[in-house]
Amino acid sequence: MIGQVEVNSMDVDGEPYPQNQVPIQRSLSPVQRASSVPHRLPHFTVGYVYSQDMMLHSSATGEHPEQPERISRIRTAIRDANLLQKMKQIPIRPVKRDEALLVHSQEHWHKVLAIQSMTPSEIFESEAYYESLSLYVTSGTTRAARLSCGGVIEACLAVARGELKKTFAIVRPPGHHAEPEEHMGFCFFNNVAVAAKVTQFLTPVRKILILDWDVHHGNGTQRAFNDDPSVLYISLHRYERGQFYPCGPFGSMESCGEGAGLGYSVNIPWPKKGMADADYIHAFQQIVMPIGMEFAPDLVIISAGFDAAVGDDLGECFVSPAGYAHMTHMLSGLAGGKLVVALEGGYNLDSISNSSLAVARVLLGEAPPELAPMVASEAGTETVWQVAMEQSKYWASVNPKACEPREEVDEISFSIPEILKGHRQHFLYTQYQMLQVPLMTKMFEERFGSQVMCTNDFLENPTIIVFVHEFGNLRIELDGKPTCDVQMENSYLIDFSKELISWIMKEKYALLDVNVFPRPFASPLPRGHKHVESWTRDVLTYLWDNYIQLSGAKNIVFIGHGPGCHALMELMESRPVGMIRYVNTVIQVVGNMSIPLIPKDADELRVWYSKNSVVIVHPEHPAFAPEARILKRHGRVLQIEESKPIKLIMKGLPLIQDHIRQSLVGKRQ
């Protein structure tokens, strides 16, 4: 009898799989197929993961942007375009404990599992705690989080085992913010990180590229693989000097991994909102694809957040569905086409469903839509060029010259930083007869040569002031915005240190002046070399070990300004005993930067620092926000009524002078 084959579905939603639901209709042809000829099930190369149970995680108010409809709208859009029937539905299941522990701690596992046992009153009482982590929880959160993570695992395994070529994990809650020890930012388990680890453990796949185009940096994913050279993590995200969520320097272009993983974390940090297709395509052409081809992965996973899409109020960017389609198409050319798309963020339901549909079409083999002629923005080209400068240290295929945003210049040109360093060296020599301190290693000399100056009595003077800083401020007047031509006669350098140095000389103290703004390396660092940021700490440690401690000084005072404050803190961490024994006081003029902290486990150093430090900030510093706290580890924090960082040290100079004098009272001169 001609009819429809009925099957039992194993999906948690009770929906039959499309590949097993086979309508058999009467043929319109006069020649009909014999009923004894077996009907062949369709051959699928693309699959998807989905379950309505992931919608159990739902905010009590129904107003949270990470809402259940995010996944249902995506599935509906793909179904209504008649694409779902072309995709195999992969059975979903919860992540297992041993799988999660490949990335997360046991404490983290128990923390997420405990949510399912919370009573309504406990959920209500813990609301403020979870809000501080940018989370909400319900009785269905644990189930949804485990399915979301398990779904991405199954999507990856299906591709890694050769069962499918490409898969789309339509899952929630997202995962890329979840760190090994903490859930945060709408994320509970790091779905992609766990899936990558499981895939490496259970299949022949060894090298994995994770491309994260969510508008937020995937701090949890980078953290999971920061020292792992088998996983290349590339992220394009809004950064805005570390002020955009998840905030901090971890998503900066200089954050390139550590140890064996150095060079395998690639951050493309957009400096502002409003980035569009042209910027993303430019970054793909100059950074993502060259590095991806040089890395040659066995599998590509896209952490596909669609919050950079047009219409998303959280991301405030303008990537179109066609833009996402083109990025997917380019990534499909890697790893022999083995590609997994795993949903992350994206909070405008129309934007996320339209963008996901465009990606699904590419997964199924359609060509991406044609893009209109476009040019990357000034901010985009500048960012890509700076990233290329950084990544060319690790990847031979990245060519900074190819994406340099400015016009070609002659080889005889000099960079502004080099001119300013030469000026400072000349000024300190002619005004105060200060001498260049030789740095006895090639790397130090190449990076900091001519940037460390001292007075000629440095080794004999009983009191040494060590001043650690970067440049002053350039004030430039332009002829007009259209041309940005500089009026040279009305442009100048503000050197905030002139008054401080003049006072030091008047008091007859010795001075060690250290400019920690590094030169770029002329040649790439060897792979496996330590992170470039560590050179600032290392040159200060070198100066401490080879000059300061060997001098005849009985009194030592450290003054840090701006980025120099963090460099000084790293020196104190590496030489705590010497700091406590020999240093009278530490003065940190922080400005707008974050206040450096003494490590939690350095009890003796913390006690000493809280008594022998002054940290100068302005009254509107984030450390004084209602939700912030000043800790002993911050040192003795003082406010100066001056909001401009460049003027802070000048206005605070009387306080600095008095504090230095008090620290020397009763000391040998």
Which pair of structure tokens corresponds to residue 284? Answer: 């793909």
Residue-by-residue DSSP string for 440-489: -SHHHHHHHTT-EEE-TTTTT-SEEEEEEE---EEE--BS-TTT--B-GG
Q: 23: which DSSP letter?
A: B
Neighbours of 570 (CB within 10 A): 17
Nearest to 446 by CA among 537, 523, 543: 523
Which DSSP letter does residue 260 get? Answer: G
Contact 227, 258 (CB under 8 A): yes
Active-site residue, 177 included: yes
d(Cα 200, Cα 206) in Å, to the nearest integer? 5
Task: Check if the beta carbon of residue 498 is closer than 8 Å to that of residue 513.
Answer: no
**C-alpha to C-alpha distance for 100 and 610, rounded to whole angstroms:** 40
Do residues 598 and 506 lie in contact, with contact meaning Cβ atoms separated by under 8 Å? Answer: no
Question: Per DSSP, what are the bridge partners of residue 252?
Answer: none
Burial 390-429 (b: 16+ CB within 10 A, else e): bbbbbbeebebeebbeeeeeeeeeeeeeeebbeebbebbe
Whether 66 contacts 174, CB under 8 Å:
yes
Give the number of C-alpha atoms closer than 13 A to the C-alpha of residue 44, restricted to the C-beta side. Answer: 22
- Structural contact between residues 657 and 557, judged by C-beta atoms closer than 8 angstroms: no
Active-site option among 108, 177, 216, 282: 177
The two tokens of residue 155 are: 């999507």
What would you report as the CA-atom Rg of the chain, rounded to the nearest whole angstrom? 29
What secondary structure, in 3-state letters, does 378-403 show?
HHHHHHHHHHHHHHCCCCCCCCHHHH
Catalytic residue IDs: 177
